[in-house]
Amino acid sequence: KAFEELMATKLRELETLQATLKQQELDEAQKSQTLAESEELMDATKAQLEADEKFFDQTKAACQVKASEWSERTRLRTMELQGVNKAIEILSSPDAMKTFTNATTTFVQLSLLTHHRTANQGRNVYKKLSGLARRFHDLSLAELAAKVKAGGHFDKVIVSIDKMM
């Protein structure tokens, strides 16, 4: 009977030890899995950190360029405003006012002389310029002749102004 009791106790101990071994193997597997996941997460975090640091450096450099450009624009704008203020100061000075007053009494239009080119004159100029262009093989003279033939781009404006007067 003592042997059977000893064997029963030993079997229970064996079962307990086997259960403990299984539990420890399960814990070790979970810990190994957690370790692998943690290492993978750490590698991903390191890669993200490197990418973020690179982005930060690029953004920092771009901000420095923008700050320098803004500083230059601000400096130029300040200089421009100073120039405008100086011009206003000069134009509103008593000497300038005196000059403007004298200018309105000094310059008087006494007559109006208008000179319009006739179609015949335009043709003569065109013929001479185109002849010279052919004779000297000069493209710029040919272009000028074409412009004369087409008429100046201010012709319509001048005619309108003349009609107003």
Tens digits of per-residue pLDDT, 45-81?
999 999 999 999 999 999 999 999 999 999 999 999 9
User: Does the predicted TM-score (pTM) go above 0.85?
Assistant: no
Weakest mean pLDDT among 125-129, 142-146, 158-162: 158-162
Tens of pLDDT, residues 17-51: 999 999 999 999 999 999 999 999 999 999 999 99
CB contact at 8 A, 125 and 99: no
Weakest mean pLDDT among 25-29, 76-80, 135-139, 145-149: 145-149
- Which residues lie closer than 8 Å to 133 by C-beta, 6 or more apart? 139, 141, 142, 144, 145
pLDDT reported for residue 110? 64
**DSSP category for residue 92:** T
**With 90 as the cut, is the pLDDT of residue 165 above it?**
no
Sequence-ordered strand ranges (E) for the chain: none
**With 90 as the cut, is the pLDDT of residue 91 above it?**
no
pLDDT reported for residue 40? 95
**With 70 as the cut, is the pLDDT of residue 105 above it?**
no
Residue at token pair 């201010």: 154
pLDDT reported for residue 163? 59
Residue at token pair 């899995």: 33
CB contact at 8 A, 160 and 114: no
**With 60 as the cut, is the pLDDT of residue 164 above it?**
no
Burial 105-141 (b: 16+ CB within 10 A, else e): eeeeeeeeeeeeeeeeebeeebeebbeebeeeeeeeb
d(CA 97, CA 89): 11
**DSSP category for residue 51:** H
d(CA 140, CA 146): 10
Burial 30-67 (b: 16+ CB within 10 A, else e): eeeeeeeeeeeeeeeeeeeeeeeeeeeeeeeeeeeeee
